[in-house]
């Protein structure tokens, strides 16, 4: 999971903010309503400008995001959402819904989803940038350790000996020379 796994959280927050801002600019009188999100998503002139995945998320979760129940997703409600995502991270479901944007490697998202419970160190059902970074660091350290151990295990000079070493050098003994040391004497 090398690369920018932790930046996914900030990308999601930014993407939601930008999508909300775009929707708000389309409907300055009515605001961002369920009906307006649907209309914007269906309007082909918005196809290249409107991020369909983020708009879909806002549409699918409209009722829970509209905290005051007035039918309009206000700037304060949007700020609350993005602030919560920035500080508390995202749930498995949110990451699944928001990862379809294509803004991140599907391999990275798949790895996070696959290892979600292990990454979620405090077991609150959400992963933060810090948790993803810590997990990535841990995986990278383990990978380096595994590579070193593999090199040690496949080092043939241990088995056959170092042909450049002098015969008096004890460290040049190989498994074979030790086994047959008494045989040749």
Give one DSSP letter per residue of 143-176, joined into a string. Answer: HHHHHHHHHHHT-HHHHH--TTS-TT-GGG--HH
Q: Against a cut of 0.95, is the pTM above it?
A: no
In a domain, 18, yes or no: yes
Q: Containing domain of residue 52, as a range? A: 7-153
Helix (H), strand (E) at residue 138: helix 129-153
Average pLDDT, the chain: 82
Q: What is the mean pLDDT of residues 141-148?
A: 83
Number of domains in the chain: 1
In a domain, 171, yes or no: no
In a domain, 123, yes or no: yes
In a domain, 176, yes or no: no
In a domain, 99, yes or no: yes
In a domain, 163, yes or no: no
In a domain, 79, yes or no: yes
pLDDT in tens, 21-77: 999 999 999 999 999 999 999 999 988 899 988 999 999 999 999 999 999 999 999
In a domain, 166, yes or no: no
Task: Write the CB contacts of 29 (distance below 8 Å, at least 6 apart in sequence).
Answer: none
């Amino acid at each position: 999971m090398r690369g920018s796994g932790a930046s996914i959280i900030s990308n999601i927050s930014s993407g939601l903010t930008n999508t909300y801002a775009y929707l708000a600019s389309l409907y300055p009188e009515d605001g961002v309503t369920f009906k307006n999100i649907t209309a914007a998503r269906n309007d082909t002139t918005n196809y290249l400008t409107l991020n369909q995945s983020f708009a879909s998320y806002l549409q699918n979760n409209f009722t829970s995001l509209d905290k005051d129940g007035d039918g309009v997703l206000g700037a304060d409600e949007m700020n609350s959402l993005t602030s919560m995502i920035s500080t508390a991270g995202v749930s498995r479901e949110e990451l699944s819904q928001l990862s379809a944007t294509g803004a991140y490697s599907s391999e990275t998202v798949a790895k996070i989803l696959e290892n979600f419970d292990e990454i979620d160190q405090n077991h609150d059902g959400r992963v933060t940038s810090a948790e993803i970074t810590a997990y990535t660091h841990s995986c990278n350290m383990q990978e380096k350790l595994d590579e070193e151990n593999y090199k040690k295990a496949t080092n043939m000079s241990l088995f056959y000996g170092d042909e450049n070493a002098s015969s008096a050098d004890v460290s040049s003994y190989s498994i074979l020379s030790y086994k047959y040391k008494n045989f040749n004497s």
